Each structure stands twice: as structure tokens, then as C-alpha cells.
Structure 1
Amino acid sequence: MASPHRFGYLLVHFVEDPDGHGEQIYFSLSHGDDPLAWDRINGGRPVLSSHAGTTGVRDPHIIRAADGWFHIVATDLRVWRAEGQDWEEFRRHGSRSIVIWDSPDLVTWTGPRLVDVAPPSAGMAWAPETVLDPATGDYVLHFASALYADDDPRHEGPALAQLLTTRTRDFHSFTPAEPYLSLPGGVIDMTVAVDDDGRIHRFAKQDDEAPGSWQVFQQVGDRIDGDFRTLKTNLGQEFGPRVEGPLIFRANDDERWYLWVDQYGHLPQGYHALTAPTLDGEWQPVPGFSLPAHTKHGAVLPLRDGEWERLRQRDADGGWSAP
């Protein structure tokens, strides 16, 4: 079978907007095959919205499944709402569900649907992502959650954010969630990439207040559920003292990788980019990176075989009306 022609990139994300409702799914499309210049398409309006659960979605991730379908998973969380922000309440009594959409072509989407993934002892299910496990052929869904003691049903005691995993083959049914990674102070926002040797690289964020925090860090291992060693820490600190939400993707020409980190310590918030020739390389800031302000925590999908043209044509034909 011929290799697919690769051209262009899709960024699926949300927008930080205290005065509006940016906690929806937005699409940004690269300028042709340039991964450093982007337009927020659909006239800057969301492409997908959720009226289920909290009615807000953050931290979306998109995967191209082995059967050719695409799946978006997102946090069921609306921070900016009339009754105000309460991050402590979100952590202790937030949604234990994620929001999912499905598509055969990136243009037509079904959903949203809520799927419970976190156990009753969990306070929330944040920043879900899926990755194909090459060792088993199923998909690992990982997300951040705080687990409270069994004798603390009201979630009043202490609990740190940690990473949990569950598995699926159809994006409808999921195995019971299991603890995956915990660190002093808490850990969130994991994303995963596989290198040419089949090694698993995971990037995540240790809590800012943890003594000697690694901040955004990179680890490598041979299996998703195996042992990992730390390669890099404090990634993206040149962009500000508070960065999170790493995303990772490989350029279509195979000559380099891009690591984006989401700066949230000052305005304007949004992504900044690092690059390296290999996942083991030295990450360097990218000059000339162009992305609309307040483009927040999402995922980049490298496109194939006319997908960029299909998305651009749909945008030219009037775009999407978020349901």
C-alpha cells in the first residue's frame, strides 16, 4: 500500500474567554504545510459545543484511530460561569465524565456524549487523551484526577492530582480506571508520542508548588505501562514561570518534532513552541511562531490525502454551526 500523502495540520483546542463562552471546540488550520502559522477557522466560532454535563469543554485531544475514524475527547468543565470560579470545588466535586465526538472525515461529527471514566472516589477527570498501545492494539485513555479516601465520600480530605488510565477498543466502553503516575505535589496534563524505535515518550506537568518541581517534563520508556526514565525537566520555562498542557507532534517532512506548552501565568495566555530534530534532542524555542492569542490546551493532528483541502473547502463553504 502506498504511503499517504501528508500535507497540513489541524489544531483542535478551546479558547480562554472570561467574558464569553470559549470553553467549546475550536479548529485552527495551518497555512498550508507550515506548522508555525495558523488561522482560527469557522470565522473564529466554535465548531463543536456541549450541552451535556457542565455545558463546557476544555483540553480537547484528537486521535486518528486505526480504522480511519477520528475521536475527540475533552474535559467536561465550565470554569467561566455566572456563579463564578471555584477551582477547589472543581477538584473535589467536578465531573467524573469526559465528552466525546466521533467523525469519519473531520468534517461531519456525531456527539457529544458523556462517558464516565473516573471512579466515585475521584474528584474530577481532567485533560483526557488517547494513544494506541502498540503492544496490545487497544487505546489507552489517560487523564488527571484526585482520588479521595474510601471513608471520605464528601471529598473533604487531602488528595493530590495524579494520572489514571483506562482502556478501550471502541471509544464507547472503557475498563475501570487504574492509577498510573503520581508525583509530589501532583501531576497533570500528560501527552504521549512514539519514536521510530517504538519507545514511548511521555510529557506531563508537575504542580508548580511542589518542592523542586520538574514543571513540564519528558520521560521515555519501552512500554506505556512499563518503567520510565526522565530525560528533560523545566521545559518551556523561557516563556514564563507557569506553563502546562504540553502537546507533541511530528512534522510532515519527518525532519523535526514540535513541543508546544500552554503559558497561563500572564496575559495573553496561549501556546508557545519548541522544536528538536528527534525526541531525544535538545528542545529550542521556535522563532516566528504565529497563533491567535488565548488559543488553549489542545492537540495537533498532521493531515493526509486531501484532508487539509477538505477542511479548507468546508470553511470556504460556510463552515460549521456548533450544535
Structure 2
Amino acid sequence: MKRRTLLSATGAALAGATLLRPAAASAASAAPGDGYVMAYFTESPSMTAANYGLHLAVSTDGLNWTPLNQNRPVATPTLGSRGLRDPFVLRRQNGGFVVLATDLNGTDWNYQSQYLHVWDSADLRTFTGYRLLKVHSLATHAWAPEAYWDPGRGQYAVVYSAVTGGRNVLMVNYTADFVTASAPQTFFDPGYDAIDGSFVSVNGVNYMYFKNNTNSTLLGTRSTTLNPGSFSIHTAAIGPGRGVEAPQIVKSHTANTWYLWGDTWSPNGRFFCWQTTNVAGGAWSLLNDRAYTQPLNSKHPGIAPVTAAELTALTAAWGVPTWNRIKSYNFPDRYVRHGNNVGRIDTYPFEPYQDQLWTLVPGLADPAGVSFRSVNYPDRYLRHYDYTIRLAANDGTSAFRGDATFYRTAGLADSSWTSFRSYNFPDRYLRHYDYLLRIDPLTSGSPATDRQDATFRIGY
């Protein structure tokens, strides 16, 4: 289904642009270059991670994300279907936030709700005033809401997908308080099934990206006004070679670079990210997975800039994960995991998803080092045995402790990443070979491919 953006009036100032908000000054001020928050729900290939509550993650660069609250929901719907998809966060003109989401618990696409979930929040740490907002009386759904402040009307516009004329179009309602809303009207209808509108304003021009639901690609439109019916296509189809939806535009805090996120539509999905330095030009380049890391099992992201103080407060309130994921440098769509008690790297996402979660504890043989303890088998650690890496229970011997201890070093292929040197075979490093983990002798002069095999990123 569909996903939205989390941008806002203040978020716009942070990002160096506005979310479909021409020229009007923000009611809340914030310095650029601080951080970002992402809203999402969770699913996994076998749906063991399916959770249709509001999840949050934070980032300092808008590319690599830290889930909050141990990747558990921070708010859960109790009305309507009692589940949400496509959460969107908007900073209101008074500096607070409103959260909107699709009323749908799971994947019953025939479920027809005329309502959206709504929460108020002063800080995204507490959520109040939970309610349903009715947006139409049609025999159809209301999917993937996004909202923006329309200064010409002095109201907020709420844009979502609904079926009229036999196909999904983007509808709009106007509201001052997210308690009641005006009658719906068609906002954008390209003549074919269209969902997932996401907005930004750059240099006085408004851009909307959406999903062409007939071929699962993304398209960009633009308009010099905010008027319904005024947006026209200005990009070629954008896609990674597989179905994609949920466009989300973010501006770098540190460079004249824009990122366009997209999510594959199935529970087997993952995020993709494109970049450009010229939104008006409409050309986007797909980033290598090495550049970004999505929150575990996340679906349909919505991203908003926040201040450094807000990012710090969110992290303090909800906490960061007690576990890590470890990404391969030269196969960055793959993560270190155990499978049948063998250490390996596999393509994200996979089940059991817990196999990729590790608690990095002080080294069993030397606390200056590190040992990898499995989250779902907490009595077991990664160790080498005949130079291959296995998951095994700690037998209490000095040999086990030595085999399960590694020293972190600057990445052999990239010093901003990490390599792991064996404690008891100090000329050998953890690396993958044919996707299996082992320890091999390596130096800075080793072949580039070998050094890349031994380089990893510790993240979430």
C-alpha cells in the first residue's frame, strides 16, 4: 500500500526547502543541519515482524537510521481497524506535530475505511488527542495521507488516495484542526491508477512525486500553485527494476543534494534511495546500498527534519537498540547472520530476521576486544573453528573465549568502516568468502577484493 512524507513547516526550514509551502514563513524556527526523524510500520518476508503501530527512527545524515524504542511502536491505534499503515508526521504552524496514518491493520486491501488515524504531539515523545478524521463518504479507502500548510487558504491540505471513476486518484480535504475537514475533491488524476503523493517546494516551485500504480514506478510532477488539478508530469519513470512505491524527498543538511526514497511494495521489500543536485531537472541517480541503511523491517517511510535538541530528546526518551546489525562493504545489501549455526552474509530482508541481530559485548578473552552474542540464541557466540565461523554455545574454555574474541580496527577497504582482527590469530581477519564467514590472513597490501570482504559497517 502507500506511504507518505513526514515533512512540515519547520521541517522545511531545516531541509533548506519547504513541503509544498511556497514563500510563507514557518511559525516555528529551527537551525538547518541537525537531524531527521522517520515514521514507519514493520513487516518481514514471513510477516513475523508485522506490527501496524507507529514506529520512529532518527538519523543525523538522513541516510543511516537508528530505530527508537527497540524498534517497537511508540503509539498504537485503538479505533477503526486498530492498525495503521503509511504514517506521516507534520509540524504544525504552532511548532507542534500532528501524526496522520491510513486506517488499515494488515494487508486486507478490500478494507474500506473513510477515516484516518490522527494524533497530536508536542514533541513526538508523547501523543495526545487520538481520534479518527473522516475524509469522505465514498465506498472506498483513504490511503497514505500527507498534509501541508496552504498559506493561500490559511488551512492545512490533507492529500490521500481513494477510488473514484474506477481508479485510484489523489484526493484533498482542507482543515484547520485535523478534527473536521472540508468536502473531498480530486487533487490529481493522471488518467490511470495513482497513489502515494509526496510533496516539496523548491525555489517557489511545488513538486509532487507519486506512484504509478499500474507499473509500480515513481513519477515527479510540478506546479507553480497549490491548486487541485495544477500538477503536470516532469520526470521519466523512476524505478530500481522492481516494483516501488512510497516516494519520499529529503534534502541533505550539509550539501546541495536531495534524496528520493522508495519502498518496494511487498513484505519482502526494502528501501531504495536516489539522489540529485537538481530537483527541477528531474533526473535521479540510484545510490549504492553502501550509502544508506533503513531501520530493521521498516515499511513506507516518512522523513522530517528535526532540530538537534529534538533529536537528542527523542533518543533520550525512547532509547537506542541494545543490538546491532553488521553490513557487508562490498555486498551492502547483505548482513552478517547465523543460519544452521554457520556464520554468513545474506541479502536483506530474510527470516528469521532475528538471525542478523547481535549484541556486541566486551571480548570474552579480552574486554578491549568484542564478541558477537546472538540475540535470539543469547548463550551462543560467533567463533572460528578451523578458520570457519560458527555459532556455538560458550563452553567456558579459554579456547572458546579466544576463538570468539576480535579486535575492531579501521576498515581495511574503507577506514570509516570496521574490520575485525582475530584475538588468537592476530594476522587473520573476519571476512566472507562465497558468502560464508571465516578468518584469513590479511594486510593493508592484500588484494582489494579480500580487503573489501573483511570490511563491515556496524549499525542498526
What is the TM-score of this pair, normalised by structure 2? Answer: 0.59
Residue 70 of structure 2 aligns to a residue whose secondary structure is helix
1:283 equivalent in structure 2? 284
Q: CA deviation at 1:109?
A: 1.0
Matches for 1:228-267 after TM superposition, within 5 Å: 228-235=231-238, 237-238=239-240, 240-253=241-254, 255-264=256-265, 267=268
Q: CA deviation at 1:298?
A: 2.8
Residue 279 of structure 2 aligns to a residue whose secondary structure is coil
Matches for 1:138-177 after TM superposition, within 5 Å: 138-147=155-164, 159-177=166-184
> How far, CA to CA, are the matches of 1:62 and 1:206 in structure 2?
23
Residue 314 of structure 2 aligns to a residue whose secondary structure is helix
Residue correspondences, number: 289
Matches for 1:72-111 after TM superposition, within 5 Å: 72-80=99-107, 85=108, 87=109, 89-90=110-111, 94-111=112-129
Q: CA 1:50–1:147 in structure 2 vs 1: closer, same or farther (change >3 Å)?
A: same
> How far, CA to CA, are the matches of 2:160 and 2:319 in structure 1?
35
1:297 equivalent in structure 2? 300
Native 8 Å contact 1:192 1:200 kept in 2:
yes
2:77 equivalent in structure 1? 50
Residue 53 of structure 2 aligns to a residue whose secondary structure is coil
1:182 equivalent in structure 2? 189
Q: CA deviation at 1:23?
A: 1.2
**Deviation string for 1:58-114 (max 9, x for gaps)?**
00111111110101100000125xxxx4x3x23xxx111000011112211114311
> How far, CA to CA, are the matches of 2:280 and 2:131 in structure 1?
38
* Among 185, 207, 223, the residue aligned to 2:213: 207
Q: CA deviation at 1:173?
A: 1.7
Q: CA deviation at 1:265?
A: 5.2
Q: CA 1:300–1:160 in structure 2 vs 1: closer, same or farther (change >3 Å)?
A: same
Q: CA RMSD in A?
A: 2.4
Residue 290 of structure 1 aligns to a residue whose secondary structure is coil
Moved over 6 A (4+): none
1:27 matched to 2:56: yes
Aligned-residue sequence identity (percent) comes to 27
Native 8 Å contact 2:40 2:298 kept in 1:
yes
Q: CA deviation at 1:291?
A: 1.2
1:156 equivalent in structure 2? none
> How far, CA to CA, are the matches of 2:185 and 2:101 in structure 1?
19
Q: CA deviation at 1:290?
A: 0.9
> How far, CA to CA, are the matches of 1:14 and 1:139 in structure 2?
24
Q: CA 1:286–1:111 in structure 2 vs 1: closer, same or farther (change >3 Å)?
A: farther
Q: CA deviation at 1:3?
A: 6.1
Matches for 1:53-64 after TM superposition, within 5 Å: 53-64=80-91
Q: CA 1:303–1:56 in structure 2 vs 1: closer, same or farther (change >3 Å)?
A: same
**Deviation string for 1:195-253 (max 9, x for gaps)?**
12x211001111225xxx8x210011111215233211321x12x32001111122223
> How far, CA to CA, are the matches of 2:28 and 2:152 in structure 1?
25
The letter for the 1-side match of 2:279 is L
* Among 214, 218, 221, the residue aligned to 1:219: 221
| Runs of 5+ unmatched residues, structure 2 | 1-26, 322-460
* Among 45, 62, 67, the residue aligned to 1:40: 67
Native 8 Å contact 1:4 1:305 kept in 2:
no
Q: CA 1:95–1:36 in structure 2 vs 1: closer, same or farther (change >3 Å)?
A: same
**Deviation string for 1:122-150 (max 9, x for gaps)?**
411000110112333321101101137xx
The letter for the 1-side match of 2:142 is A
